[in-house]
Structure 1
Amino acid sequence: MSYPSIADKATSFRRPGLPVGLLAFGAILGAVLAGPLAADGWQWLHWICKPLTTVLIAWTAWRMAPPLSERYRRWIVIGMLFSLVGDIFLMLPQDAFVPGLVAFLFAHVCFIRAVLDDARFAARPWALLVCLAYAALNLWLLWPSLPPALYAPVVVYVVVLACMAGQAASRAWWHAGDALAVPARWAAAGALLFMLSDTLIAWNRFRLAIPWAALWILATYYAALWCLARSIQRVSGAGRHA
């Protein structure tokens, strides 16, 4: 089986980069400008561009070659598809926060499965403990503002999200200095950005209004997905798994 040349690989992320950037800009612009007094067109711009951005990033991830492994790529892309479902739920006019939360919960389970492909769980325990501590601190600060009906789903989601970020960071630490260091760092960056994006969502929704919230939330979210897509590509000298 032949793989793309180094030149081909160098351009593999440049080709979709511009359309992804334009769609992400449209999603952010539509979200920032949409409001009670805004023209309907801004809301539609957000509704169209938000899912399309995720679709294009997922497609880029699926087409990435050579992958670390087919299994790793498959779980990352499935996680992105669950993220797409979450995107759609969270942008609906009615409140579909819990279904969106569940969709993203399944996305994080898929990402955890991916980053367990070549590193045992909590191979570097401190990375996981730091993420769990960060999640616990945020949960403690937000707890008084949470509706009681959301206590259980939010706790489950926060634990899974922290485990996803902690395992990705642990994996990057585990592979530091070996052939998988670069893709593992991309995965860790994506996981931590995902955690940051969700933190911003939680604070903006339950505690305080963050200025330009849509900009920061969507920018970190799309950066997270892009980094996870980048983590699929096997660099020269990296081992290949089934």
Structure 2
Amino acid sequence: MSMSSIADAPPGSRRPGVAVALLGAAAILGAVLAGPGPADGWQWLHWISKPLATVLILWTAWRIAPPLTARYRRWIAIGMLFSLAGDIFLMLPQDAFVPGLVAFLIAHVCFIRAMLDDARFAARPWALLACLGYGALNLWLLWPSLPTALYVPVVVYVAVLASMAGQAVSRAWWYAGDALAGPARWAAVGALLFMLSDTLIAWNRFRVAIPWAALWILATYYAALWCLARSIQRVSGTGKHA
């Protein structure tokens, strides 16, 4: 999340935007500097700051007014609640990767449901096919490194994640030049950043250690959630497709 995106935010979200940036930075710092011991002070900074940043983005999303529709905001908020659950699962000392995967899978289903509120699924099929192709390519490259027990969960997750991103891009394409183009673009950018963040997680976990992995993963993740929150804001005009 860049400082320019915070500066351009609606007046009611600027202060939370700065707080989210600070909490996100604290979560990243804690993850980068944490030692192996669970009692390490930096680890505690990560554990506290990571979910708090997500909670603050959720709170900001819920307060943004006027929303595109109450239903769109509700499904985005529910998706963020499941993202919060995924945050907690993935940062636990024990390996809770599969529960975290399931939580984020449900989150993406909620985001898809939100974006079906005003656009049919895959209104621009090439957008969906491009995202599915990107997901399939990563899956093919990572497949030799995946544990056998994760084959089915990961395939399902990649399909849902790519469908979410594809629907978001398809919706933004569909509304190009329309009054809803701005919110739709925010959702599309957020969805693509979510896919990038999850790609980094997968490569870092299963294929190769990425230098400063926590920085890139969390920065893209929080930026994704922030963009999805911004997509709730309704602009003036009814929209030619409304």
1:13 and 1:172 map into 2 onto residues whose CA distance is 23
1:24-173 correspondence runs (5 A): 24-36=24-36, 40-173=40-173
* Seq. identity, %: 84
Query: Per-residue CA shift, 1:64-121, capped at 9, x if unaligned?
Result: 0000000000000000000000000000000000000000000000000001111100
Contact 2:38/2:93, CA 8 A, preserved across alignment: no
Contact 2:81/2:107, CA 8 A, preserved across alignment: yes
Calculate the TM-score normalised by the size of structure 2.
0.93
1:18 and 1:82 map into 2 onto residues whose CA distance is 23
1:237 and 1:217 map into 2 onto residues whose CA distance is 36
Task: Sort the Cα spacing of 1:39 and 1:88 in 2 relative to 1 into closer, same or farther, 3 A.
Answer: closer
Calculate the TM-score normalised by the size of structure 1.
0.93
Deviation at 1:35, TM superposition (A): 2.5
**Structure 1 residues without counterparts, runs of 5 or longer:** 1-8
Runs of 4+ in 1 over 6 A off after TM superposition: none
Contact 2:76/2:114, CA 8 A, preserved across alignment: yes
Query: Per-residue CA shift, 1:156-208, capped at 9, x if unaligned?
Result: 00000000000000000000001100000000000000000000000000000
Letter in 2 for 1:181: A
Residue of structure 2 equivalent to 1:3: none
Count of aligned residue pairs for this structure pair: 233
Task: Sort the Cα spacing of 1:115 and 1:208 in 2 relative to 1 into closer, same or farther, 3 A.
Answer: same
* More deviation, 147-156/36-45: 36-45
Letter in 1 for 2:81: L
Residue of structure 1 equivalent to 2:18: 18
**Structure 2 residues without counterparts, runs of 5 or longer:** 1-8
